[in-house]
Amino acid sequence: MNNLPIGIFDSGIGGLTVASAIVKVLPHEQLIYFGDTAHLPYGDKSPEAIKYYSLRIAKFLADKKCKAIVIACNTASSLAYSDLVNFMGHELPIFNVIDPVVDAVVQQHSYTRVGVIATKATIKSGVFKHKIQARNALIQVQSLATPLLAPMIEEGFFNNKISRTIIDSYLSSSKLKNIECLILACTHYPLIQKEIEAYYKYQVNIINTADIVASYIKNQLISMDLVNRSEEMGKKNQHEFYVSDYTNSFEQSATMFFKEKIHLKHQAIWD
């Protein structure tokens, strides 16, 4: 059981930020990654569609004999996590990317005004506001949907004039006024973290969700005695990457994150 892979999925390249953070803290794990590029962006889809895609992908990863599944997407975590746990949680552990971040914000800091940026679907679900305020009703949660960011990043637009203009226009919204920290509640956003920090002139704490999630998963796998004990695993080229539609930018990003040539496999898992 311990040497089985960890399954991880997102709508596209965003989950690679979580995948590479996991590889850093758990270097002997093998990952099977699924990017649902045929249905990107999830943030504009209905809850029903997001649940349906997530269930199909989780089933694919379970059939690949993964020992755990990481929903490396805030949108799918917001809308499909409880369905996935109901359908498959008795067979294998399922992790979302929201609970570890809420824990970190509520426990480790004394924030009173927390900003959240995410896709339309995540913001509409109200999940961050609900979960944070259930733990500490005094924390004011200021949320803003930033729907252009994930497609922009997916297309490779970051660290340039276009991305800076779009980021500035979102972050100057009055909805984010006077925040003390900002949760990047979309797994694509760590790719523009530097630009966001620069916008705030380093005065607002930007929460690096990928690192928080990776260290949470490490602790959970240790406590479940699921960590791989073989040092042979997780070496170069052992991770597998599947996409539902082939895109160049996915291959480039995966290669950038994993610093090795990635061979994408096309996997259509829809009827």
Tokens of 9: 């999925």
CB 18, min distance to ligand DGL, A: 9
Binding status of residue 74 toward ligand DGL by CB under 6 A: yes
In DSSP notation, 176-210 reads GTT-SEEEE-STTGGGGHHHHHHHTTT-SEEE-HH
Query: Cα dihedral angle (167, 170, 173, 176), rounded to 10 degrees?
Result: -70
**Of these, 188, 196, 210, 234, which contacts ligand DGL (CB under 6 A)?**
188
Min dist CB 210 to ligand DGL, Å, is: 10
Q: Tell me how many helices (H) and strands (E) the chain has.
A: 11, 10
The stretch near ligand DGL (CB under 6 A) out of 34-42, 137-145, 220-228, 245-253 is 34-42
Of 25-33, 69-77, 136-144, 222-230, which part binds ligand DGL (CB under 6 A)? 69-77
43 binds ligand DGL (CB under 6 A): yes
Of 256, 212, 262, 243, residue with least CA distance to 38 = 243
Closest CA to 73 of 125, 112, 28, 27: 125
Binding to ligand DGL by residue 210, rule CB under 6 A? no
Cβ neighbours for 71, distance < 8 A, ≥ 6 positions apart: 9, 54, 77, 80, 81, 84, 94, 95, 96, 97
In whole angstroms, how far apart are CA 177 and each of 149, 206, 223? 19, 15, 40
Q: Quick one: 145 or 262, whose CB is closer to ligand DGL?
A: 145
Nearer Cβ to ligand DGL (74/208): 74
Q: Does 35 bind ligand DGL (CB under 6 A)?
A: no
Tokens of 31: 């990952």
Shortest distance in whole angstroms from residue 57 CB to ligand DGL: 13
Based on the shown chain and the rule CB under 6 A, indicate whether residue 244 belongs to the binding site for ligand DGL.
no
67 is a contact residue toward ligand DGL (CB under 6 A): no
Minimum CB separation from ligand DGL for residue 10, in Å? 5
> Mind telling me the catalytic residues?
73, 186
x-or-dash string of contact with ligand DGL, 135-174, rule CB under 6 A: ---------------x------------------------
Q: Is 75 in the site for ligand DGL (CB under 6 A)?
A: yes
Task: Reduce the DSSP state of residue 68 to 3 states and report it.
Answer: strand
Contacts of 228-231 with C-beta under 8 Å, sequence gap 24+, read: 228/2, 228/3, 228/26, 228/28, 228/29, 228/30, 229/2, 229/3, 229/28, 230/2, 230/3, 230/28, 231/28
Q: In whole angstroms, how close is the CB of 25 to ligand DGL at the nearest point?
A: 20
Considering beta carbons, is residue 136 or 157 the nearer one to ligand DGL? Answer: 157
- Does residue 73 belong to the site contacting ligand DGL (CB under 6 A)? yes
The residues that touch ligand DGL, with contacts defined as CB under 6 A, are 10-11, 14, 40-43, 73-75, 119, 122, 150, 186-188
